[in-house]
Structure 1
Amino acid sequence: MGEVLDTIDLKLLKELRENSRENIASLSKKLGIPRTTVHYRIKKLVSEGIIEKFTIKPNYKKLNLGTTAFILARYEPDSGLTQREVAKRIAQIEEVYEVHIIAGEWDLLIKVRAPSAEDIGKVVIDKLREIKGVGQTVTMVSFVTVKEEP
């Protein structure tokens, strides 16, 4: 929306983040506004690009991808590739779920999922470190996810 979102829009976004499959009648009841208004506001949030897509939140353990790791990587500028090009190549690795160009001592933050820590190691050694422009890496395996946005 061209203007600042109001409290109804913010509540609607919160509900949709919790469950994007929730039907309009249920949302209408929760928010205390007519169904037609809920429908209109959702369409408007989509058309303005505030909602980019509706998606799912998989149970990664049931998909045999129960191990999550975060990898810090250094960019090698003498590789002949830009940092953005290197990040895009990393993003093409199947096991990679997120790639962030970051500030600080490290240049890239990468989120990876696999069946085990051993499989994460294979991704790092056999795929990530083989990408031109990727320098030193540090891998941190997550023990437990307390909060994660879909």
Structure 2
Amino acid sequence: MASHQNSELDRLDTRILEVVTEEGRISITDLAERVGLSKTPCQLRLKKLVEEGYIEGFAAILNPSKLGLDHVAFAEVKLTHTHEEALKSFNAAVKKIQEVEECHMIAGRFDYLLKIRTRDIRRYRHVLGERISSLPFVASTSTNVAMETIKEGRGNLLNAG
């Protein structure tokens, strides 16, 4: 199926996306009731939203504290080179580090911003020193440690504008 732009989502599609964003495990029966459709049309719309890429998947949201992963650090990474080969090499390698939750290419005084979650500062130092610093084309890093997380997650992308 062809991909559509956001402007082509109708009110019902948007409502389905809002509900499954908040309640990913909602049953089709309950979803249909919440959006004002019967079960079969709701199921077909949900399937279409998945096929067209509006919904990339469904996943459990884990509690990092329960897993002993309370330490969050943001590493600014500066590369030695930013030619395409360097970027591709760095991108492929950073994806393999499980402690890196997010990696963003940045326009500014450094090249990448990494969100790294570990159990403590000692583990972070190990990940930074042994894994991140040895990634291809890394020239330098700078770390910012999160003192407290106020808001985390994807938020409501439909109202982000």
1:105 partnered with 2:121:
no
Do 1:117 and 1:141's aligned partners in 2 also have CA atoms closer than 8 Å?
no
TM-score (norm 2): 0.84
Q: 1:80 to 1:147 in 2, by over 3 A?
A: closer
Equivalent residue in structure 2 for 1:49, among 53, 64, 68: 53
Structure 1 runs (4+) deviating above 3 angstroms are 78-81
Structure 1 CA distance, aligned partners of 2:136 and 2:43? Answer: 48
Give the drift of 1:78: 8.4
Which of 35, 39, 45 is the equivalent residue of 1:35? 39
Partner of 1:91: 95
Does the Cα contact within 8 Å between 2:89 and 2:136 map onto a contact in 1?
no
**Structure-1 residue corresponding to 2:27:** 23
- Name which of 41, 62, 87 aligns with 2:66: 62
- Give the secondary-structure state (helix, strand or coil) at the position aligned to 1:50: coil
1:87 and 1:108 in contact (8 A); partners too: no
Count of residues in Structure 1 that have an aligned counterpart in Structure 2: 150
Residue of structure 1 in register with 2:148 after alignment: 144
- Cα-Cα RMSD: 2.0
- 1:132 alignment counterpart: 136
Please, what TM-score do these two structures have when normalized by structure 1? 0.90
Identity of aligned residues (%): 31
Q: Is the 8 A contact 1:79 1:132 kept in 2?
A: no
Q: Assess, with a 3 A threshold, how the Cα gap between structure 1 residues 37 and 127 changes in structure 2: closer, same or farther.
A: same
Inter-partner Cα distance in structure 1 for 2:125 and 2:39: 50
Counterpart-to-counterpart distance in 1, 2:19 and 2:35: 9
Query: Which amino acid is the alignment partner of residue 36 of structure 1?
Result: T
Contact 2:76/2:111 (<8 A) preserved: yes
Match of 1:2 in 2: 4
SS in 1 for 2:144: strand
| Structure 2: gaps of 5 or more residues | 155-161
CA shift in 2, pair 1:106/1:45, >3 Å: same
Gaps of 5+ in 1: none
